[in-house]
Amino acid sequence: MSYYIQKNKKKFELKVKDILSESGGTAIVYNVQGTDDFVFKLYKDKKYATKSEAKLKQFINGFPSTELVSLKNLPIKGKFHQLAWPKNIVYEKNKPVGFLMPKISFKNTVQLNRIFSIKNRKSEKITEDITWRITVARNLADVYNTLHQSGYYVVDTKPANIRTYKIVPGVCLLDCDGFRLKNSPFEGDMITPDYIAPESIGKPPSQLGREQDIFALSVLIFQIFNNGIHPYSGILNKNETLPIQERIKKSAYAYGKVQNRIQKPSPATVHHMFPDEMLKMFSRIFEKKERPEASEWVSILDNLKKPSALSKCNKIGHRGFKKGCTTCAFEKKILNNNVQVKKPVTKRNVSNYFNNSPLPTKPKSNFEDLKDSISKFLFGNN
Protein backbone atom coordinates (compact mmCIF):
# COMPACT_ATOMS: atom_id res chain seq x y z
CA MET A 1 0.00 0.00 0.00
CA SER A 2 1.56 3.22 -1.09
CA TYR A 3 0.05 6.64 -0.81
CA TYR A 4 1.41 9.65 -2.64
CA ILE A 5 0.74 13.25 -3.56
CA GLN A 6 1.51 14.74 -6.97
CA LYS A 7 3.11 18.05 -7.78
CA ASN A 8 4.25 19.15 -11.23
CA LYS A 9 3.86 15.57 -12.45
CA LYS A 10 6.21 14.37 -9.70
CA LYS A 11 5.09 11.91 -7.08
CA PHE A 12 5.92 12.23 -3.40
CA GLU A 13 5.38 9.15 -1.34
CA LEU A 14 3.49 9.57 1.87
CA LYS A 15 4.12 7.31 4.82
CA VAL A 16 1.35 7.20 7.37
CA LYS A 17 2.08 6.98 11.07
CA ASP A 18 -0.55 6.26 13.67
CA ILE A 19 -4.25 6.90 13.41
CA LEU A 20 -5.22 10.27 14.80
CA SER A 21 -8.92 9.53 14.66
CA GLU A 22 -11.14 6.75 13.51
CA SER A 23 -14.81 6.70 14.07
CA GLY A 24 -18.08 5.51 12.64
CA GLY A 25 -17.82 8.39 10.22
CA THR A 26 -16.71 8.50 6.65
CA ALA A 27 -12.96 8.86 7.07
CA ILE A 28 -9.85 7.99 9.04
CA VAL A 29 -7.34 10.71 9.90
CA TYR A 30 -3.67 9.65 10.01
CA ASN A 31 -0.54 11.33 11.23
CA VAL A 32 2.08 11.50 8.51
CA GLN A 33 5.73 10.58 8.94
CA GLY A 34 8.14 13.48 8.83
CA THR A 35 5.63 16.26 9.48
CA ASP A 36 3.63 17.57 12.36
CA ASP A 37 2.02 20.25 10.22
CA PHE A 38 -0.25 18.09 8.13
CA VAL A 39 -2.49 15.08 8.56
CA PHE A 40 -3.98 12.71 6.00
CA LYS A 41 -7.72 12.21 5.78
CA LEU A 42 -8.48 8.90 4.11
CA TYR A 43 -12.04 8.37 2.89
CA LYS A 44 -13.41 4.99 3.84
CA ASP A 45 -15.62 4.76 0.78
CA LYS A 46 -13.46 4.38 -2.34
CA LYS A 47 -16.27 5.39 -4.69
CA TYR A 48 -16.89 8.52 -2.66
CA ALA A 49 -13.17 9.35 -2.80
CA THR A 50 -13.17 9.03 -6.59
CA LYS A 51 -16.26 11.19 -6.86
CA SER A 52 -14.74 13.80 -4.54
CA GLU A 53 -11.68 14.46 -6.70
CA ALA A 54 -13.21 17.26 -8.73
CA LYS A 55 -14.59 18.95 -5.63
CA LEU A 56 -11.28 18.65 -3.78
CA LYS A 57 -9.45 20.19 -6.73
CA GLN A 58 -11.85 23.15 -6.68
CA PHE A 59 -11.39 23.56 -2.95
CA ILE A 60 -7.59 23.32 -3.14
CA ASN A 61 -7.42 25.90 -5.91
CA GLY A 62 -9.99 28.14 -4.28
CA PHE A 63 -8.63 28.37 -0.77
CA PRO A 64 -10.41 31.30 0.91
CA SER A 65 -7.79 33.65 2.21
CA THR A 66 -8.94 33.59 5.79
CA GLU A 67 -5.44 32.97 7.05
CA LEU A 68 -5.52 34.65 10.43
CA VAL A 69 -8.38 36.91 9.46
CA SER A 70 -8.46 38.53 12.83
CA LEU A 71 -5.55 37.01 14.67
CA LYS A 72 -2.96 39.19 13.02
CA ASN A 73 -0.31 41.04 14.98
CA LEU A 74 -0.36 38.74 17.96
CA PRO A 75 2.81 38.80 20.04
CA ILE A 76 3.15 35.10 19.55
CA LYS A 77 4.59 32.92 16.87
CA GLY A 78 2.76 29.85 15.79
CA LYS A 79 0.20 28.62 13.38
CA PHE A 80 -3.38 29.38 14.18
CA HIS A 81 -5.27 27.90 11.27
CA GLN A 82 -8.84 29.03 10.87
CA LEU A 83 -9.78 26.25 8.49
CA ALA A 84 -8.73 22.60 8.27
CA TRP A 85 -8.76 23.08 4.51
CA PRO A 86 -7.76 20.41 1.94
CA LYS A 87 -4.21 21.07 0.77
CA ASN A 88 -3.23 18.21 -1.55
CA ILE A 89 -5.11 15.24 -2.94
CA VAL A 90 -3.64 11.92 -1.84
CA TYR A 91 -3.57 9.08 -4.38
CA GLU A 92 -3.09 5.35 -4.30
CA LYS A 93 -2.58 3.45 -7.57
CA ASN A 94 -3.66 6.48 -9.63
CA LYS A 95 -6.88 6.86 -7.72
CA PRO A 96 -7.73 9.62 -5.26
CA VAL A 97 -8.24 8.27 -1.74
CA GLY A 98 -8.26 11.39 0.43
CA PHE A 99 -6.30 14.54 1.10
CA LEU A 100 -3.73 16.32 3.25
CA MET A 101 -4.89 19.11 5.52
CA PRO A 102 -3.35 21.19 8.32
CA LYS A 103 -3.11 19.47 11.65
CA ILE A 104 -5.14 21.23 14.30
CA SER A 105 -3.61 20.70 17.71
CA PHE A 106 -6.04 19.06 20.06
CA LYS A 107 -3.90 20.09 22.98
CA ASN A 108 -4.13 23.79 22.19
CA THR A 109 -7.80 23.92 21.25
CA VAL A 110 -11.16 22.98 22.74
CA GLN A 111 -14.52 22.34 21.16
CA LEU A 112 -16.39 25.64 20.86
CA ASN A 113 -19.12 24.69 23.35
CA ARG A 114 -16.47 24.37 26.08
CA ILE A 115 -16.41 28.16 26.26
CA PHE A 116 -20.20 28.48 26.59
CA SER A 117 -20.47 27.97 30.36
CA ILE A 118 -18.62 29.63 33.24
CA LYS A 119 -17.84 26.22 34.72
CA ASN A 120 -16.22 24.90 31.56
CA ARG A 121 -14.37 28.13 30.92
CA LYS A 122 -12.94 27.82 34.40
CA SER A 123 -11.73 24.30 33.79
CA GLU A 124 -10.18 25.36 30.46
CA LYS A 125 -8.65 28.40 32.17
CA ILE A 126 -10.41 30.84 29.86
CA THR A 127 -10.93 34.34 31.23
CA GLU A 128 -14.24 35.92 32.32
CA ASP A 129 -13.18 39.11 30.59
CA ILE A 130 -16.03 39.42 28.08
CA THR A 131 -13.66 40.76 25.42
CA TRP A 132 -12.20 37.27 25.03
CA ARG A 133 -15.54 35.86 23.94
CA ILE A 134 -16.37 38.94 21.88
CA THR A 135 -13.13 38.32 19.98
CA VAL A 136 -13.89 34.61 19.52
CA ALA A 137 -17.37 35.43 18.21
CA ARG A 138 -15.97 38.17 16.00
CA ASN A 139 -13.38 35.78 14.59
CA LEU A 140 -16.04 33.13 13.95
CA ALA A 141 -18.24 35.65 12.11
CA ASP A 142 -15.20 36.81 10.15
CA VAL A 143 -14.40 33.26 9.03
CA TYR A 144 -18.01 32.78 7.90
CA ASN A 145 -17.91 36.10 6.10
CA THR A 146 -14.69 35.21 4.26
CA LEU A 147 -16.10 31.82 3.28
CA HIS A 148 -19.26 33.46 1.93
CA GLN A 149 -17.25 36.06 0.01
CA SER A 150 -15.39 33.17 -1.63
CA GLY A 151 -18.61 31.30 -2.46
CA TYR A 152 -18.42 28.62 0.24
CA TYR A 153 -21.18 27.63 2.65
CA VAL A 154 -20.69 25.63 5.83
CA VAL A 155 -24.27 24.27 5.62
CA ASP A 156 -23.89 21.89 8.59
CA THR A 157 -22.82 24.21 11.40
CA LYS A 158 -22.31 22.49 14.75
CA PRO A 159 -20.10 23.18 17.77
CA ALA A 160 -18.50 19.74 17.36
CA ASN A 161 -16.85 20.94 14.14
CA ILE A 162 -15.54 24.20 15.56
CA ARG A 163 -12.48 24.34 17.79
CA THR A 164 -11.36 27.40 19.69
CA TYR A 165 -7.76 28.08 20.66
CA LYS A 166 -6.88 28.26 24.33
CA ILE A 167 -4.15 30.88 24.00
CA VAL A 168 -5.67 33.12 21.35
CA PRO A 169 -9.34 34.09 21.04
CA GLY A 170 -9.86 32.53 17.64
CA VAL A 171 -11.52 29.53 16.04
CA CYS A 172 -10.74 26.79 13.57
CA LEU A 173 -13.40 25.04 11.49
CA LEU A 174 -13.03 21.30 10.87
CA ASP A 175 -14.45 19.04 8.17
CA CYS A 176 -14.12 21.78 5.57
CA ASP A 177 -14.34 19.24 2.76
CA GLY A 178 -18.01 18.96 3.73
CA PHE A 179 -18.69 22.60 2.86
CA ARG A 180 -20.67 23.53 -0.23
CA LEU A 181 -19.22 25.55 -3.08
CA LYS A 182 -21.68 27.79 -4.90
CA ASN A 183 -22.84 26.40 -8.26
CA SER A 184 -21.15 23.05 -7.71
CA PRO A 185 -22.73 19.66 -7.08
CA PHE A 186 -23.17 18.98 -3.38
CA GLU A 187 -23.65 15.64 -1.69
CA GLY A 188 -24.13 16.56 1.96
CA ASP A 189 -27.12 14.68 3.24
CA MET A 190 -27.59 15.71 6.83
CA ILE A 191 -27.51 18.80 8.96
CA THR A 192 -27.53 19.10 12.71
CA PRO A 193 -30.84 19.69 14.52
CA ASP A 194 -31.08 22.76 16.77
CA TYR A 195 -29.12 24.76 14.18
CA ILE A 196 -31.49 24.44 11.22
CA ALA A 197 -33.14 27.71 10.20
CA PRO A 198 -36.95 27.59 9.91
CA GLU A 199 -36.80 28.18 6.15
CA SER A 200 -34.22 25.38 5.76
CA ILE A 201 -36.42 22.69 7.31
CA GLY A 202 -37.23 19.98 4.79
CA LYS A 203 -34.94 21.35 2.10
CA PRO A 204 -32.08 19.24 0.74
CA PRO A 205 -28.70 20.51 1.97
CA SER A 206 -27.71 21.11 -1.67
CA GLN A 207 -30.18 24.02 -1.64
CA LEU A 208 -28.88 25.56 1.56
CA GLY A 209 -26.34 28.33 1.73
CA ARG A 210 -25.64 31.71 3.25
CA GLU A 211 -29.02 32.15 4.95
CA GLN A 212 -28.72 28.82 6.78
CA ASP A 213 -25.17 29.70 7.81
CA ILE A 214 -26.20 33.08 9.23
CA PHE A 215 -28.96 31.53 11.29
CA ALA A 216 -26.65 28.87 12.74
CA LEU A 217 -23.82 31.35 13.33
CA SER A 218 -26.22 33.59 15.25
CA VAL A 219 -27.39 30.68 17.43
CA LEU A 220 -23.74 30.03 18.33
CA ILE A 221 -23.10 33.70 19.11
CA PHE A 222 -26.16 33.74 21.39
CA GLN A 223 -24.89 30.63 23.19
CA ILE A 224 -21.37 32.04 23.59
CA PHE A 225 -22.74 35.00 25.56
CA ASN A 226 -25.64 33.32 27.37
CA ASN A 227 -23.92 30.38 29.04
CA GLY A 228 -24.94 27.94 26.35
CA ILE A 229 -28.65 28.76 26.51
CA HIS A 230 -30.16 28.17 23.08
CA PRO A 231 -32.17 31.15 21.78
CA TYR A 232 -35.13 28.83 21.19
CA SER A 233 -35.02 27.13 24.59
CA GLY A 234 -36.98 28.37 27.59
CA ILE A 235 -39.91 27.50 29.84
CA LEU A 236 -42.83 26.36 27.73
CA ASN A 237 -46.19 27.92 28.59
CA LYS A 238 -47.94 24.60 28.23
CA ASN A 239 -46.66 21.67 30.15
CA GLU A 240 -45.43 19.76 27.17
CA THR A 241 -42.22 18.66 25.60
CA LEU A 242 -41.13 20.21 22.36
CA PRO A 243 -37.73 19.60 20.79
CA ILE A 244 -35.67 22.73 20.08
CA GLN A 245 -35.92 22.21 16.34
CA GLU A 246 -39.74 22.22 16.64
CA ARG A 247 -39.57 25.46 18.63
CA ILE A 248 -37.46 26.96 15.83
CA LYS A 249 -40.15 25.92 13.38
CA LYS A 250 -42.79 27.60 15.57
CA SER A 251 -40.83 30.89 15.86
CA ALA A 252 -40.45 30.44 19.62
CA TYR A 253 -37.50 32.84 20.11
CA ALA A 254 -37.86 33.53 23.83
CA TYR A 255 -35.55 36.53 24.25
CA GLY A 256 -37.19 39.29 22.25
CA LYS A 257 -38.72 42.51 23.58
CA VAL A 258 -42.21 41.05 23.41
CA GLN A 259 -43.02 37.91 25.37
CA ASN A 260 -43.14 34.91 23.06
CA ARG A 261 -46.50 33.10 22.93
CA ILE A 262 -44.95 29.64 23.26
CA GLN A 263 -42.35 30.02 25.98
CA LYS A 264 -40.74 32.27 28.57
CA PRO A 265 -37.00 32.86 28.80
CA SER A 266 -34.85 30.45 30.78
CA PRO A 267 -34.59 31.69 34.41
CA ALA A 268 -30.79 31.62 34.10
CA THR A 269 -30.65 33.93 31.07
CA VAL A 270 -28.50 37.05 31.12
CA HIS A 271 -29.65 38.33 27.73
CA HIS A 272 -31.02 41.50 29.38
CA MET A 273 -27.38 42.55 29.80
CA PHE A 274 -26.60 42.16 26.11
CA PRO A 275 -25.86 45.46 24.34
CA ASP A 276 -28.83 46.90 22.42
CA GLU A 277 -27.10 46.48 19.05
CA MET A 278 -26.65 42.80 19.78
CA LEU A 279 -30.25 42.30 20.95
CA LYS A 280 -31.45 44.12 17.84
CA MET A 281 -29.39 41.84 15.62
CA PHE A 282 -30.77 38.70 17.35
CA SER A 283 -34.28 40.07 16.97
CA ARG A 284 -33.76 40.70 13.23
CA ILE A 285 -32.52 37.16 12.74
CA PHE A 286 -34.68 35.14 15.13
CA GLU A 287 -37.93 37.18 15.08
CA LYS A 288 -37.99 38.96 11.74
CA LYS A 289 -36.24 36.12 9.90
CA GLU A 290 -33.78 38.50 8.27
CA ARG A 291 -30.48 37.04 7.16
CA PRO A 292 -27.92 39.86 7.17
CA GLU A 293 -24.35 39.32 6.02
CA ALA A 294 -21.85 37.87 8.51
CA SER A 295 -19.87 41.08 8.06
CA GLU A 296 -22.62 42.89 10.03
CA TRP A 297 -21.84 40.64 12.97
CA VAL A 298 -18.16 41.44 12.53
CA SER A 299 -18.71 45.20 12.77
CA ILE A 300 -21.15 44.94 15.69
CA LEU A 301 -18.70 42.78 17.63
CA ASP A 302 -15.81 45.08 16.73
CA ASN A 303 -17.70 47.99 18.26
CA LEU A 304 -18.44 46.00 21.40
CA LYS A 305 -14.74 45.51 22.04
CA LYS A 306 -14.18 49.24 22.38
CA PRO A 307 -13.55 50.46 25.95
CA SER A 308 -16.62 52.72 25.75
CA ALA A 309 -18.81 49.63 25.21
CA LEU A 310 -17.41 47.79 28.24
CA SER A 311 -17.70 48.00 32.00
CA LYS A 312 -15.37 47.03 34.79
CA CYS A 313 -16.32 44.47 37.39
CA ASN A 314 -15.12 44.29 40.99
CA LYS A 315 -14.08 40.71 40.60
CA ILE A 316 -10.55 40.14 39.42
CA GLY A 317 -10.35 39.00 35.82
CA HIS A 318 -13.94 39.93 35.02
CA ARG A 319 -15.08 42.54 32.55
CA GLY A 320 -18.59 43.03 31.21
CA PHE A 321 -20.70 44.66 28.56
CA LYS A 322 -21.74 48.27 29.24
CA LYS A 323 -24.82 47.04 31.12
CA GLY A 324 -22.65 44.99 33.46
CA CYS A 325 -20.81 41.75 34.03
CA THR A 326 -22.76 38.77 32.71
CA THR A 327 -20.69 36.33 34.76
CA CYS A 328 -21.67 37.98 38.05
CA ALA A 329 -25.25 38.45 36.87
CA PHE A 330 -25.51 34.75 36.09
CA GLU A 331 -23.94 33.67 39.37
CA LYS A 332 -26.21 36.00 41.33
CA LYS A 333 -29.26 34.52 39.63
CA ILE A 334 -28.15 31.03 40.50
CA LEU A 335 -27.53 32.02 44.14
CA ASN A 336 -30.66 34.10 44.72
CA ASN A 337 -33.19 32.09 42.83
CA ASN A 338 -31.72 28.68 43.29
CA VAL A 339 -32.13 28.31 39.56
CA GLN A 340 -31.45 24.85 38.32
CA VAL A 341 -29.20 25.12 35.34
CA LYS A 342 -30.26 22.61 32.80
CA LYS A 343 -27.62 21.07 30.67
CA PRO A 344 -27.38 22.94 27.39
CA VAL A 345 -29.64 21.36 24.83
CA THR A 346 -26.93 21.37 22.21
CA LYS A 347 -25.93 17.87 21.27
CA ARG A 348 -22.34 17.34 22.14
CA ASN A 349 -21.34 15.03 19.39
CA VAL A 350 -17.64 14.67 19.33
CA SER A 351 -16.42 15.40 15.86
CA ASN A 352 -15.53 12.42 13.77
CA TYR A 353 -12.37 14.21 12.99
CA PHE A 354 -10.39 13.81 16.14
CA ASN A 355 -12.37 11.23 18.04
CA ASN A 356 -9.59 9.13 19.38
CA SER A 357 -7.08 11.81 20.16
CA PRO A 358 -5.55 11.75 23.59
CA LEU A 359 -6.99 14.12 26.13
CA PRO A 360 -5.36 17.51 26.31
CA THR A 361 -2.50 17.50 28.76
CA LYS A 362 -2.46 19.87 31.68
CA PRO A 363 -1.17 23.26 30.63
CA LYS A 364 2.20 24.26 31.99
CA SER A 365 2.66 27.36 34.03
CA ASN A 366 4.60 29.18 31.32
CA PHE A 367 1.63 28.51 29.08
CA GLU A 368 -0.49 30.42 31.59
CA ASP A 369 1.98 33.28 31.62
CA LEU A 370 1.90 33.43 27.86
CA LYS A 371 -1.87 33.49 27.85
CA ASP A 372 -1.91 36.27 30.41
CA SER A 373 0.47 38.36 28.38
CA ILE A 374 -1.60 37.90 25.24
CA SER A 375 -4.72 38.78 27.14
CA LYS A 376 -3.09 41.96 28.41
CA PHE A 377 -1.88 42.78 24.93
CA LEU A 378 -5.34 42.37 23.48
CA PHE A 379 -7.46 43.83 26.17
CA GLY A 380 -5.36 45.95 28.49
CA ASN A 381 -5.01 45.37 32.19
CA ASN A 382 -8.59 45.79 33.31
Where on the chain is the footprint of Zn ion (CB under 5 A)? 313, 315, 318, 325, 327-328
Q: Which is nearer to Zn ion, 19 or 328 (CB)?
A: 328
Cβ closest to Zn ion, residue 108 vs residue 382:
382
Of the pair 184, 311, the CB lying nearest Zn ion is at 311
How far, CA to CA in Å, does 228 sit from each of 114, 122, 138, 223, 346?
9, 14, 17, 4, 8
Taking the C-alpha atoms of residue 130 and residue 301, their distance in angstroms, rounded to an integer, is 11
Amino acid at 208: L
What secondary structure does DSSP assign to 46-82, as a single string?
Answer: HHHHHHHHHHHHHHHHT----TTTT-TT-S--S---S
Q: Which is nearer to Zn ion, 179 or 274 (CB)?
A: 274
- Across-strand partners of 41? 29, 99
Closest CB 314 distance from Zn ion, rounded Å: 7
- Least spacing, CB of residue 328 vs Zn ion, in Å: 3
Contacts of 237 (CB under 8 A, 6+ apart): 261, 262, 263, 264
Cβ pair 143, 135 in contact under 8 A: no
CB of 273 to Zn ion, least distance (A): 11
CB 344 within 8 A of CB 117: yes
Are 40 and 14 within 8 A, CB to CB? yes
Contact 370, 41 (CB under 8 A): no
Using the minimum distance from each CB to Zn ion, give the nearer residue, 210 or 318. Answer: 318
Element of type H or E holding 280: helix 276-286
State the minimum distance, in angstroms, from the CB of residue 317 to Zn ion: 8
Closest approach of Zn ion to the CB of residue 343, in Å: 23
143/310 with CB nearer Zn ion: 310
Cβ 128 to Zn ion, closest distance in Å?
6
Shortest separation between residue 329's beta carbon and Zn ion, angstroms: 8
* Distance, CA of 381 to CA of 223 (rounded, Å): 26
CB of 312 to Zn ion, least distance (A): 9
Which CB atom, from 198 or from 324, has the smaller least distance to Zn ion?
324
Query: Which residues in 51-65 are b (16+ Cβ under 10 Å) and which e?
Result: ebeebbeebeeeebe
By beta-carbon proximity to Zn ion, the closer residue of 17 and 315 is 315
